[in-house]
Amino acid sequence: MVRVKCQSRTRGILGIDGVRLHWQHPAGTTGTDCKPKSFNPKSFNHSSSDFDTSSEGSVSDDGDICLLRDRFPTLTENELSRFKTSFVGDNGSMDVVIQKLEEYSQFRDMYNLDAQKGADINCTDAEDWEWASKVAVQAAKTCQQDLIPGLEGLAKFKDRICKVETLPQLCFVHNNNDGTPALSKQGKPLIHYLPARLDLKKASGEIYALAIVLYVERKAERLDFVGKGAVLMADGRRGAGWPNHNALMVVSFLRILLTALNNLHPGRIGSFVIYPVPYACLYVFKMMKGWLPKAYADNVSLLNGGDGIKDPAPRKKLALYVEEDIMDKMEETRLANFDK
């Protein structure tokens, strides 16, 4: 059972299908006057001045991790280390590290993720997505604050749309025939992503992004995303009965998603393979490079090809990344999710 802490229009605890949402109003307010609230890192009493930095700009690993552990006692050393590695400044500054850890701590607290550790070990992939989807939809319908800390105004409460009870599965983690997780040829975990299933007319991009972020959170420790750096394989072909938004329509969603992944899952997603990309759409992806997080900008591979429903995957190009049997599984999954 998941408990989500957020500010809501009404007071209480709501439970649907095992997903439990819990919200609290600030002192002195009621359910009718509770206003949307954004995360403000300045409200936290963490200062980078306590951290040891040398004149050369390097940081003292052991000392800094110890100080971070004191400030963020609920986070593991692995979590502290991946944030420090990803966000430490060129001069050794810990300001951004602290801010991102505060946002991640708030995110974990909002969705009560510590209570989920170890509870999901036997879940199927479909059950993992179902959990993430239900939590995201329930949060969208009950919270007046940002659903994902740190988006810097990319998703506004007044623009939120949620006309669904569940979200179509966008992400998949496949297994080999022996039950072990499918890996890339480089030994990296794989996330298979079908963006054409996205329906932004029924649910805002922020809601889909939250579901994906929660899904990755559930998968990450189990599949060692940090140690290996997962590969997100985005199959951009259209599907029968899917919304099939054009590339320009999903740019704002991608900005929300990639910002959220970078902020909350640093080090967990190592690279992106986007396929097949028609020549006409290449300018959209070149435009995106201007605002991609630095960690992602140089780790995106675009594989040219047609993106129609009946267009084949560019298998010869995909062979650089995955084995033939994994390509088959990804294609089977795509076809199985066509709306009959």
d(CA 72, CA 14): 29
The mean predicted confidence, pLDDT, of the chain is 83
Q: Tens of pLDDT along 57-82? A: 334 456 788 999 999 999 999 999 99
Helix (H) or strand (E) holding 233: strand 230-235
More confident residue, 321 or 22: 321
What is the arrangement of strands in the sheet containing 300-304, beginning at the earlier edge strand? 171-172, 190-193, 230-235, 269-277, 300-304
SS3 for 173-230, per residue?
CCECCCCCECECCCCCEEEEECHHHCCCCCECHHHHHHHHHHHHHHHHHHHCHHHHCE
Q: Which tens digits make up the pLDDT trace of 264-301?
A: 999 999 999 999 999 888 888 878 888 888 889 889 99
Predicted confidence (pLDDT) per residue in 24-66, tens digit: 333 333 333 333 334 343 333 444 445 443 333 334 456 788 9
pLDDT of residue 3: 59
pLDDT digits (tens, 9 = 90+) for 106-120: 999 999 998 877 666
Place of tokens 């802490």: 5
**CA 229 to mean position of chain CA atoms:** 14
Task: Supply the pLDDT for residue 103.
Answer: 97
Answer whether residue 204 shows pLDDT above 70: yes
